Amino acid sequence: MYKFTENEFAELKKQYEDYKARGLSLDMSRGKPCTEQLDLSEPLLADIVTNQDCYGEGGVDLRNYGVLDGITEMKRIFADLMGVTPDMVIAGDSSSLKLMYDALSDAMYAGVLGSDKPWSKYDGISFICVVPGYDRHFAVTERLGVNMINVPLLDDGPDMDMVEKLVASNETIKGIWCVPKYSNPQGYTYSEETVKRMAALKPAAEDFRIFWDNAYVIHDLYDDNKDEIADIISECEKAGNPDMVFEFASTSKVSFPGSGIAALATSANNIADIKKQLTIQTIGHDKLNQLRHVRFFKDINGLKEHMRKHAEFMRPKFEAVESVLEEELGGLGIGSWTEPKGGYFISFEALDGCAKAIVAKCKEAGVKLTGAGATFPYGKDPKDSNIRIAPSFPTPEEMKQAADLFVLCVKLVSVEKLLENK
């Protein structure tokens, strides 16, 4: 455990006051692409200029109504990304979160394929939430009145012993949230065994759904050292559960978050059922934006090459944070952290009872982090220990400053906690 003297403690407090005097204003609260990453997609803006540019395959006039499930060309790119055929894809508008919200809200009011009644007609339903996890998943679930059950994320995926037991014993458990590759916030990737066990679940609820949010499927930091994720859709088919999974992906952090494309991949049966709802819900997505993306990326190879350019900006920021953490906190016993090979986040585990205080001290000195507790349902981290670090938006130099302040705050708060416990 961290050994310190009163003089060292006084020096830490002096350093902290010096940081406060600098007037820093750095935001590491969300996983946003930096300006340079956004600039990579600038050519996309010029791909549609005249009316003659607005026609898709087969001469379809994409300025008009129709094509509810997205243009064929865009569905083909997403199909290649997610390992399915284009007829198993719906291409929508900018946010996969919107698709997830729609899927869950539609289930609440109409059920899903195989439901005997809308989910809202039960006395109460639950979702399994893998923790730490994505705060927006939890916000959607809470907003729609769904109870949340925590299951810990291990370094190879959710604790599947717990998941299997829970879903098999309770028919009111209707789903599970998963970020399977480079999870938010820890950056873990589910093992092949975990994916196979997930696909082979035997839920008591016949209309149970896996919400497979594959947000970081192509967000590798290293081309020669990246995680691989097994294909959940084909595994569900093999296990006799073809309709059990909804897989989501998007270009939100690939092109422009403000005008990206999101996609849902699932079984042909689910697609047919969802299309019935789409005829009521919309008259068509932004097909011209989909066409812009197709002309920019051209195909899956163009998409992957584009992401290699993104990695050039992301790597030094992750490495800067990891270097500072190791130099300043390595071996002290007051914190641990993940070193992901991709995604957008690093997860830090402080001493129990310290996360909120660390985040507050950072904010006071000019560095905004994701709120402590955000990575758990209802914003309640039972240990008050998890902190999500989002290195993407600041410059590498700003990131180094922010990391230096962060480790200083970790030391200060940890010493205060240790003194309390003496």
| Residue 271 belongs to a domain | yes
pLDDT confidence band for 27 (50 / 70 / 90)? confident
**Mean pLDDT, residues 56-65:** 93
For residues 79 and 148, membership in a common domain is answered with yes
Specify the pLDDT at position 322: 95
CATH of the domain at 320: 3.90.1150.10
CA distance 30 to 41: 20
pLDDT confidence band for 8 (50 / 70 / 90)? confident
pLDDT confidence band for 422 (50 / 70 / 90)? low
Which of 234, 265, 298 terminates a domain? The answer is: 298
For residues 150 and 255, membership in a common domain is answered with yes
Specify the pLDDT at position 28: 86
For residues 172 and 237, membership in a common domain is answered with yes
pLDDT confidence band for 316 (50 / 70 / 90)? very high
Domain extent, residue 379, equals 6-30+305-420
What is the percentage of the chain residues whose pLDDT exceeds 90? 87
pLDDT per residue over 188-216, tens digit each?
999 999 999 999 999 999 999 999 999 99
Give the DSSP letter of residue 61: B
CA 148, 153, 156: angle at the middle one, nearest 5?
A: 145
pLDDT confidence band for 1 (50 / 70 / 90)? low
Cβ 367 vs Cβ 19: under 8 Å: no
For residues 215 and 237, membership in a common domain is answered with yes
Which of 283, 298, 313 terminates a domain? The answer is: 298
For residues 58 and 26, membership in a common domain is answered with no
pLDDT confidence band for 371 (50 / 70 / 90)? very high
Q: Check the CA dihedral 166-170-171-172 and report its sign.
A: negative
| Residue 46 belongs to a domain | no
For residues 21 and 143, membership in a common domain is answered with no
For residues 100 and 168, membership in a common domain is answered with yes
For residues 380 and 240, membership in a common domain is answered with no
For residues 155 and 14, membership in a common domain is answered with no
| Residue 42 belongs to a domain | no
For residues 333 and 289, membership in a common domain is answered with no
Specify the pLDDT at position 359: 98
CATH of the domain at 115: 3.40.640.10
Q: pTM here?
A: 0.96
| Residue 180 belongs to a domain | yes
Q: Rounded to a whole number, what is the distance in angstroms from the first to the last CA of the chain?
A: 13
Q: If you count DSSP H runs as helices and E runs as strands, how many of each does the chain have, helices first?
A: 13, 13
Q: SS3 for 175?
A: strand
Specify the pLDDT at position 207: 97
| Residue 142 belongs to a domain | yes
Q: How many CB atoms lie within 10 A of CB 51?
A: 9
If one counts the domains in the chain, the total is: 2
For residues 236 and 157, membership in a common domain is answered with yes
For residues 368 and 403, membership in a common domain is answered with yes
| Residue 38 belongs to a domain | no
| Residue 1 belongs to a domain | no
